[in-house]
Amino acid sequence: YSQQELKQLISLHCEDPDAVEESGLTREDHKLITGVFDYKEKRVMDVMTKTVNVFMLEEKTRLSPQVMLQIYRMGFTRIPVYREYRENIVGLLYTKDLILIDPDDDVELSTIISLREAAQEEAAEKSILKMLVNDTTKLDVVMKMFKARCSHMLFATSSGEVDGAVTVTGIITLEDVLEELLNDEIIDESDNVVDTNHPEQTVVVPKKKRLDLSRIFENMYLPFSQQLSVDEASAVVAYLVASTAEFKLFKECEIALLGLINNHSEVVEIGCEDDDESLASSVGSTNRNDAPTGTTIYKQGEATDKFTLILQGKVMIESGFERFQSSLGPWSKLCEKALSRETHVPDFTATVMTSQPCRLLQVSRSSYVAAVRAAKVEARVGKLHVMKQLTKGCKTNNNGSSSNLANQVQAPTHQQHQHQPPTYPSPDQIDSTTSTPGSSGHQDIEMEVEMKHLLP
């Protein structure tokens, strides 16, 4: 049989119900076998990602924190590096090499290319020449090139040259060839689009949208601020729910936790300009004798009711009788048990050194307990329903009217924000109000549950 005849024979065995039962071939089998036949006839230009759609970096780019975060978000393991114009590829950045780079060093990208060149004992230009393939080459030949050259990426070129230099028209990867072989798209956990040549075709995530990990680390490089950004607050909520036992109960009640983080926690800045007057009220008394070069936020043996999450900077820890010293950086937690225990006494002293600015998020036990009660309200009436009714409730309050249950959930004044959290209706009150479905009490709880001070 010829190739065309074989394809037709397979189609007959996969499309006819009686033939399918006898042959055991399925539509997926037909799709796979057809891909094996067809991919040989396709050329590089048919499947490559065009240069205009390729994520590239210029060789003089500085690897600043913002650039590193951009590289992380793109999700590529290999990034072409060009000189002056995009068609002039001079190197390839392997993102695993960035593990060794400190973003604060602001290293130029060309330095990384040179270091890899030295390690390979081969000029980057020569390495690129070995990765060139004509864009009219058929895919079965390209597959052999991938195997022979131990590479997962090749640069497609046209037959013409510009000023004696090879013009790159696009890139082709091993995954591109495999997709044609399988006659299907391969989408991994880092893909944002189905096809880079058609970025409008975004990846559909069936489950809850995954948290971009870069949001968790981004705040390490943001300017200091006493306000949490939307992304920063979301990252804090996701991190605390995933890593801290005291916050796991908010997994299905994120509105209450977002409200706690946004409205009833304190963002404390230490070591920043013009913050000397606020330190005493923010972190308690500062003992200059015990900590002459820093601000003490916890003292060994002294009870506390505050949980602390380090957002930026470092905190010095002294623990044990010998006062063993260690330091904690961003996303480290202190005194989680202060939220769940009526009395918590830390067995360490925590000090923020004045030589380096530090930004902390602190949550008091009273605010945490109030948020737990609010979470029970959210769990009972439903997140979506709460959000809808809160919008109505805010409009009602703006018109000057009030309700019985709303009066129990008072918006805090500035003093309440610092010293005592607002009160919430107790679970018993909620139970009694919602005990009879369809009753006026039930309608009241639906219309009057006020948690607007908990909303972000």
Paired with 62 in beta bridges are: 108
- Do 195 and 59 sit in the same domain of this protein? yes
Whether residue 454 lies inside any domain: the answer is no
The residue from 182, 202, 222 where one domain ends is 202
What residues pair up with 315 in beta bridges, in sequence order?
328
The Cα 283–Cα 306 span in angstroms is 10
Check whether residue 65 and residue 166 sit in a common domain.
yes
Give ∠ CA 262-70-230 in degrees, rounded to 5. Answer: 10
Number of domains in the chain: 4
- Residue 335 and residue 307 in contact, taking contact as beta carbons nearer than 8 Å: yes
The per-residue b/e assignment along 320-334, b for 16 or more CB within 10 angstroms, e otherwise, is eeeeeeeebebbebb
Measure the CA dihedral 416/421/426/429, to 10°: 30
> In angstroms, rounded to a whole number, what is the distance separating the alpha carbons of residues 68 and 79?
12
Q: How far apart are CA 332 and CA 310, in angstroms?
A: 6
Give one DSSP letter per residue of 273-313, joined into a string. Answer: TT-HHHHHHHH----TTT-TTEEEEE-TT--B-EEEEEEES
Domain span at residue 412 reads 376-448
The answer to the question of residue 61 being in a domain is: yes
Query: pTM, whole model, 2 decimals?
Result: 0.58
Q: Three-state SS for 58?
A: strand
Q: State the first-to-last Cα distance of the chain, in angstroms, to the nearest integer.
A: 68
Burial of 155 (0-12, 13-18, 19+ CB in 10 A): buried
At 231 the pLDDT is 79
Q: Is 136 in the same domain as 264?
A: no
Helix (H) or strand (E) holding 149: helix 139-149
- Same-domain status, 299 and 433: no
DSSP characters over 11-23: HHHHHSHHHHHHH
Residues 350 and 444 in one domain: no
Which of 314, 342, 366 is at the close of a domain? 366
Q: How far apart are CA 186 and CA 138, in angstroms?
A: 20
CATH code of the domain containing 191? 3.10.580.10
Residue 335's region, left for phi above 0, alpha for psi from -120 to 50, else beta, is left
- What residue has token string 């968790």? 216
In contact, 14 and 27? CB cutoff 8 Å: yes
CA distance 244 to 444: 35
Q: What pLDDT tens digit does each residue of the chain (456 aa) get?
A: 777 777 777 787 777 777 777 777 777 787 888 888 888 889 999 999 999 999 999 999 999 888 988 898 888 889 999 998 998 888 899 999 888 888 878 889 988 888 887 777 666 667 788 889 999 999 999 999 998 888 899 999 986 554 445 689 999 999 999 988 888 887 776 666 656 666 655 555 444 444 455 555 555 555 556 678 887 888 889 889 988 999 998 988 888 898 899 889 999 888 755 444 444 444 444 443 444 467 899 999 999 999 999 988 889 999 888 889 999 988 899 999 999 999 999 999 999 976 778 889 999 999 999 999 888 887 776 655 555 555 555 555 445 443 333 333 333 333 333 444 444 444 344 344 433 344 434 333 333 344 444 444
- Residue 237 sits in the same domain as residue 360: yes
What is the torsional sign of CA 216, 222, 227, 229?
negative
Q: Can you read off the two tokens belonging to residue 103?
A: 């973003």
Among 305, 333, 366, the domain boundary falls at 366
Q: Is residue 438 part of a domain?
A: yes
Verify that 224 and 252 share a domain, yes or no: yes
Tokens 């945490």 found at: 368
- Neighbour-count burial for 216-241, b at 16+ CB within 10 Å, e otherwise: bbbbbeeebeeebeeebbbbbbbbbb
Residue 150 lies in a domain: yes
Identify any residues that bridge with 173 across adjacent strands, giving them in sequence order: 153
Helix (H, G, I), strand (E, B) or coil at 384: helix
